[in-house]
Structure 1
Amino acid sequence: MANTAQIQVKGVNKIFRTGDKEVVALRDIQLEIPEGQFVCLLGPSGCGKSTLLNAIAGFSLPSSGELIANGKAVTQPGPDRGMVFQEYALFPWMTVEQNIAFGLEIKGMSKGDITARVSKLLAMLGLSDFRQRFPKDLSGGMRQRVAIARVLALDSPIMLMDEPFGALDALTRRNLQDELLRIWAELKKTIIFVTHSIEEAIYLADRIIVMTYRPGTVKKDLLIEMPRLRDPSSAEFNQLKRELGQLVMEEQQRHHNDELKMAVVD
Structure 2
Amino acid sequence: MSAASIQIQDVNKIFASDDREVVALKDINLEIASGQFVCLLGPSGCGKSTLLNAIAGFSLPSSGTIAADGKVVSGPGPERGMVFQEYALFPWMTVEKNIAFGLEIKGQSKAQIEQTVSTLLQKLGLSDFRQRYPKDLSGGMRQRVAIARVLALDSPILLMDEPFGALDALTRRSLQDELLRIWSELGKTVIFVTHSIEEAIYLADRIIVMTYRPGTIKRDMLIDLPRLRDPASAEFNALKRELGMLVMEEQQRHQQAEMVAAAVD
- TM-score, length basis structure 1: 0.99
State the Cα distance separating 1:19 from its structure 2 match: 3.3
Counterpart secondary structure, 2:190: strand
Listed one character per residue, the Cα deviations across residues 123-175 of structure 1 (whole Å, up to 9, x for unaligned) are 00000000000000000000000000000000000000000000000000000
Q: Which 5+ residue runs of structure 1 have no aligned equivalent?
A: none
Paired position in structure 2 for 1:239: 238
Pairs within 5 Å for 1:105-144: 105-144=104-143
Paired position in structure 2 for 1:161: 160
AA paired with 2:225?
M
Among the aligned pairs, what percent are the same residue? 80
Listed one character per residue, the Cα deviations across residues 4-23 of structure 1 (whole Å, up to 9, x for unaligned) are 11100000000000232110
Deviates more, 1:96-105 or 1:16-25: 16-25
Does the alignment pair 1:173 with 2:172? Answer: yes
Q: Take 1:259 and 1:71, find their aligned partners in 2: how far apart are those partners?
A: 40
Structure 1's consecutive aligned runs of 4 or more residues displaced over 6 angstroms after TM superposition are none
State the Cα distance separating 1:226 from its structure 2 match: 0.4
Q: Take 1:40 and 1:19, find their aligned partners in 2: how far apart are those partners?
A: 32
- TM-score, length basis structure 2: 0.99
Pairs within 5 Å for 1:14-53: 14-53=13-52
Counterpart secondary structure, 2:52: helix
Paired position in structure 2 for 1:248: 247
Paired position in structure 2 for 1:80: 79
Q: Take 1:18 and 1:197, find their aligned partners in 2: how far apart are those partners?
A: 28
* RMSD between aligned residues: 0.5
Q: Take 2:193 and 2:107, find their aligned partners in 1: how far apart are those partners?
A: 31
State the Cα distance separating 1:188 from its structure 2 match: 0.2
Listed one character per residue, the Cα deviations across residues 22-47 of structure 1 (whole Å, up to 9, x for unaligned) are 10000000000000000000000000
Q: Take 1:78 and 1:85, find their aligned partners in 2: how far apart are those partners?
A: 16
AA paired with 1:127?
L
State the Cα distance separating 1:72 from its structure 2 match: 0.3
Q: Take 1:75 and 1:19, find their aligned partners in 2: how far apart are those partners?
A: 27
Paired position in structure 1 for 2:195: 196
AA paired with 1:232?
P
Counterpart secondary structure, 1:226: coil
Paired position in structure 2 for 1:145: 144
Counterpart secondary structure, 1:17: strand
Name the count of aligned residue pairs.
Answer: 265
State the Cα distance separating 1:261 from its structure 2 match: 0.1
Paired position in structure 2 for 1:91: 90
Q: Which 5+ residue runs of structure 2 have no aligned equivalent?
A: none
Q: Take 2:17 and 2:246, find their aligned partners in 1: how far apart are those partners?
A: 30
